[in-house]
Every structure is written in C-alpha cells, then in structure tokens.
Amino acid sequence: MTASFDPAPEPDDRPATMAAPVPYRPRPSRAATVLRWWLALSALTLFAIALCVFIGFVQTDFAPLNIVIHGDHIADGVTITGIDDGAGALLATSLALVVLFLLLMIPVLILLVAASVAIGVVFGLGVPLIGLALVLGVLTSPFWMVGLLVWLIVRRRDSHRLAGSATMAA
C-alpha cells in the first residue's frame, strides 16, 4: 500500500503479450521509385566520370606538348596517340559515362525548361487576369447589388404552398 505522497510509478497492468502497434507505411509510388533509381544512377555515373578523369589525368604524360606561335604549328605536338592502352580505356569509359550522364540529364533539362515556361505563362497571364477580374468585380458591384435586389423582389414566392405542407392530414 502506497501513500499519496509516494512518487513511485504504479505498476503496468497491461498484459505482457500485447505487442505495440506498428505504424502503417505505404509503399512509395512508382514515380518515387523511378526517381530514386534515377538519382542513384546519376550520382554513380557522375562519380565514375570523376574517377575515370582523375585516373586518366594521373596516368597521362603531356611531355610531347609543343606549341609554336610564330611558326604556325600550334597543335603539332598535341596528340592522343602517345597514351598507353590503360589511359585509352579510361578515356573511352569516361566518354561512355558522359554520354550516359547526358542521357540522364537531357529529360530533366527539358522538364525544367517546360516548367519554367509554364510558370512564366501562369504568372504572366493568370495573375493579371485574376487581378483584372477582381477589379472588374469591385467596379461593377453596384450593378450586381441592384440586380440582386430586382431578382429578390420579382421572384415568385411559394409561401402558401409551403405553409400548407406543414400540416398533415390525419
């Protein structure tokens, strides 16, 4: 028996076999799943491009670089034939990854352009038209009020028919 001033908590009287309810988590939509995969593939592609470019720059030796300005053979010494097979494979892999990254980014860029045009049209035309409608509604409000008063006066009232239906025959 505990006194009223005892700060100890009361024991729990729930059955021990009762499990806590698990909150419902709906499955993500198909669009969310596609977006997650797209983001993961884009990030992986961008990381692979950076890795290939970094390894390629480390392995490439630009020693045959020879630029002559007054002799007019500026690009004679700049060739990619002097790189070894590993650097060529990295170059080809990085170019393939750049193409894949562009394939992933072009639809997003098209969507961004289309969305910006749609937002521009909505704010360029929709907001001024809404403002014009509000101004015209305020300016013509006296005519609306007169029309409402005329309609209330002229409309037919069926009060006698409604009053008869209030009493029921026995």
Check pLDDT > 60 for residue 164. Answer: no
Q: pLDDT, tens digit, for every residue of 73-114?
A: 666 555 555 667 777 777 788 888 888 888 888 888 899 999
* Cα distance between residue 2 and residue 11, in whole Å: 12
**In angstroms, what CA-CA distances link 12 with 9, 15, 16?**
9, 8, 9
Mean predicted lDDT score pLDDT of the chain: 77
Q: Over range 35-57, report the average pLDDT.
A: 84
Check pLDDT > 80 for residue 71. Answer: no
H-type alpha helices, the chain: 30-59, 85-121, 127-139, 141-154, 159-164
pLDDT at 79: 57
Q: Which CB contacts under 8 angstroms, 24+ apart, belong to 119-122?
A: none
* Cα distance between residue 97 and residue 52, in whole Å: 9
Check pLDDT > 90 for residue 133. Answer: yes
pTM of the predicted structure, to 2 decimals: 0.41
Give residue 72's region: left, alpha or beta (phi > 0; psi -120 to 50).
left
Token reading at 71: 């002799």
Q: Is 157 helix (H, G, I), strand (E, B) or coil?
A: coil
Token reading at 118: 């749609």
Q: Report which DSSP code applies to 81.
A: T
- Domain boundaries, given as residue ranges, for the chain: 30-61+78-154
With cut-offs at 50, 70 and 90, classify the pLDDT of residue 47: confident
* Cα distance between residue 111 and residue 165, in whole Å: 63
